[in-house]
Amino acid sequence: MGDRSGASGSRRRRTGSRPSSQGGSGPAAAAAEEEVRDVGAGGDAPAPEKDKDGDVDVGSGQWDLRCHRLQDSLFSSDSGFNNYRGILNWCVVMLVLSNARLFLENLIKYGILVDPIQVVSLFLKDPYSWPALCLVIVANVFAVAAFQVEKRLAVGALTEPAGLLLHVVNLATILCFPAAVALLLESITPVGSVLALMAYTILFLKLFSYRDVNLWCRQQRRARAKAKAAAAGKKANGGAAQCTVSYPDNLTYRDLYYFLFAPTLCYELNFPRSARIRKRFLLRRLLEMLFLTQLMVGLIQQWMVPTIQNSMKPFKDMDHSRIIERLLKLAVPNHLIWLIFFYWLFHSCLNAVAELMHFGDREFYRDWWNSESVTYFWQNWNIPVHKWCLRHFYKPMLRKGSSKWVARTGVFLASAFFHEYLVSVPLRMFRLWAFTGMMAQIPLAWIVGRFFRGNYGNAAVWLTIIIGQPVAVLMYVHDYYVLNHEAPTAAA
C-alpha cells in the first residue's frame, strides 16, 4: 500500500505539473512534457534510465515496472531491420562445410588426381611443335595490314570504299584463317585452339573498333571547314597539346600496339592514364593470378573431370533421373570454377595488365551479382565486351533506323556466333549448343523480366547461371565423347 500510494502520489505530482509545463517554455517544459508522454504511453512508469555505459540502472527500482513497448519482430517486413550479417556468415560456414564434405568424399573415392604434367599435354601434343603460339604470332600481320590501310586513308591515297573493302577482307581473314588451321592441322590441341581463336577474336574486335574510330575522325575532319578547323585547333590546343593526340597523329605503331595490349576492346585517341605503377597492388594481382590458376586446374582435374566421366553412361542409357542427378552434381564445381575464373580474369589479370600499362579505366565489371534481370546481367558482368557492343553494334543499328528489339537481337546473334565459334571449331564438331544457349537468353530475359521482380528475379538469374552452364558442358562433352571414342571403337 505504501508503494502504491507513493506511485500514485508521484503520478499526481507529475500530472499536476502539466498546466505549468504547457504554459512554460525551454528545457524544463520539454522535460516535463516528456514525462507526461511517458506516463500516458506506458501506464504506471516511464522507460528505465540507463547509466553511462548504456545499461539499465539497477539502482532505480521504481522505474523497472515497464519492460514492453510497441514493436515488430525482426523478421517482419515492417520492423525495418536489415542487418543479416550473421545469417550470411552462417550460410558461408554451411557452404564451406558441405563442400568440404564433397571434397573429402571425392578424395576417398578417387584419390589425388591433380597432375601438372597432364596440363601441359592439353596445350601441346609435340613438345617441338607449337602451332597455337605460331598462330598468335602470325596475328601481327593482320594488325599491320589494318594499320597500313588507315595510314593510306588518312593521306587520301585510298578512297573510302576501297579502304572499307580492304578492312572487310582483313577482318574476315582474321576469323577464317585460324579456324581453318584449327580444323586442318592435326598437331594442334583443342585447348591450344581455344586460346589461339580467342586471341584472334579479340584482335577482330579491336581492329573493328580501330577502323570505326579513325573513320569517325576523318568524317569530323571533312565536316569542318579548313579555316574553322585551323582556328579551333589554335584555340583548343594551347598547353594541352603536349599531352593529347589528335588525328592523324595517332597513326603510329606505338599507339596501335598500346591499344592491342591494353585491357579494352574500344579504341580511343587518348586513353585515361594512371600516374604511376603501384608495386604492391601489382604484386597482389600477380600472386592472385598464380594461386587461382593452380586452384582452377586442381578443381577441374580433381572434381569436375570425374563427374563428367561418370555422366556418360546415364546419357548413353538415357536414364533421365540419373542425368538430372549428374547435372546437379556437376553444377557445384562448374559454378565454383566459373566464379574463380571471373575473379581471375576480370579482376586479377586485367588489373595487372592495366597497372603495367598505366591504363586508367579499371571498370571491367559492375555489380552483376545483384542482377534482377537477365538483361542487367549481360550488361554488367563483362564491361569491355558490353562497351564494344554498345558503341560499335547497338547504337549504329539504332542510328540506321532499327528498333531497340532488333538491335538487341542482333547483339545476341553476334554473341551467339562467337560463343559457338570458340567452342565448335576447337572441338571440330558443330552442334550449336552454345549458339542455342545464347539465343535462348532473349525469351529467358522476357520471362524473368515479366514474371519475377526483386529478390525473385535475382534468384532466377542465379539459377540460370548455375544450371545453364553445366547443361552446355555435358552436351558438348557427350557429343565429343561419342564422336572421338565410341565411333572409332565401333568402326574397329
Model pLDDT for residues 141-195, shown as the tens digit of each residue: 999 999 999 999 998 899 999 999 999 999 999 999 999 999 998 888 888 899 9
User: What pLDDT does residue 128 have?
Assistant: 75
Q: Any idea which residue has 552436351 for its cell?
A: 475
Which pLDDT value is given to residue 298?
87
Three-class DSSP category at 271: coil
Backbone angles phi, psi at 359, to 5 degrees: -80, 125
At residue 277 the predicted structure's pLDDT band, cuts being 50, 70 and 90, is: very high
Q: Are 285 and 352 in contact (CB under 8 A)?
A: yes
Cell, residue 148: 597500313
DSSP summary character for residue 434: H
pLDDT band at 61 (very low <50, low <70, confident <90, very high): low
Catalytic residue among 167, 386, 392, 419: 419
Number of other residues whose CB lies within 10 A of the CB of residue 209: 20
Residue pLDDT, tens place only, 193-214: 999 999 999 999 999 999 999 9
User: 419 catalytic, yes or no?
Assistant: yes
455: part of which helix (H) or strand (E)?
A: helix 454-481
pLDDT tens digit sequence for 387-426: 999 999 999 999 998 899 999 999 999 999 999 999 999 9
Does residue 267 contact residue 259 with C-beta atoms inside 8 Å? yes
Helix axes 441-451, 454-481, angle to 10 degrees: 160
Q: How far is CA 308 from CA 394, 470, 480, in A?
A: 38, 10, 12
pLDDT of residue 103: 81
What residue segments make up the domains of the chain, in order of their start?
A: 116-225+246-261, 275-485
Residue located via cell numbers 574510330: 213
Q: How confident is the model at residue 342 (pLDDT cuts 50, 70, 90)?
A: very high
Most confident of 293-302, 307-316, 337-346, 432-441: 337-346
Residue 34 pLDDT: 45
The full DSSP string for 148-211 is HHHHHHHHTSS-HHHHHHHHHHHHHHHHHHHHHHHHH-TTS-HHHHHHHHHHHHHHHHHHHHHH
- Mean pLDDT score of the chain, rounded to an integer? 81
pLDDT for res 242: 42
DSSP element (H, E) containing 468: helix 454-481
Over range 85-105, report the average pLDDT: 85
Confidence (pLDDT) at 285:
94
In 3D space, the residue among 343, 236, 355, 352 whose CA is nearest the CA of residue 293 turns out to be 343
Give me the pLDDT at residue 408, please: 92
Q: Phi, psi (5° rounding) for residue 224?
A: -85, 145
pLDDT at 344 over 50: yes
Confidence of residue 63 (pLDDT cuts 50, 70, 90): low
- 347 to each of 117, 282, 294, 344, 458, how far by Cα in Å? 28, 11, 17, 6, 23
Sign of CA dihedral 46, 52, 55, 59: negative
pLDDT at 231 over 70: no
H-type helices in 244-344, by residue range? Answer: 253-261, 279-299, 305-309, 312-317, 320-342
Q: CB-based contacts of 382: which residues, under 8 Å, 6+ apart?
A: 346, 365
Whole-prediction pTM: 0.78
What's residue 108's pLDDT?
A: 85
Whether 209 and 267 have beta carbons less than 8 Å apart is answered as: yes
Phi and psi, residue 114, nearest 5°: -70, 125
Q: How many CA atoms lie within 13 A of 264 on its CB side?
A: 23
Mean pLDDT of 300-318: 81
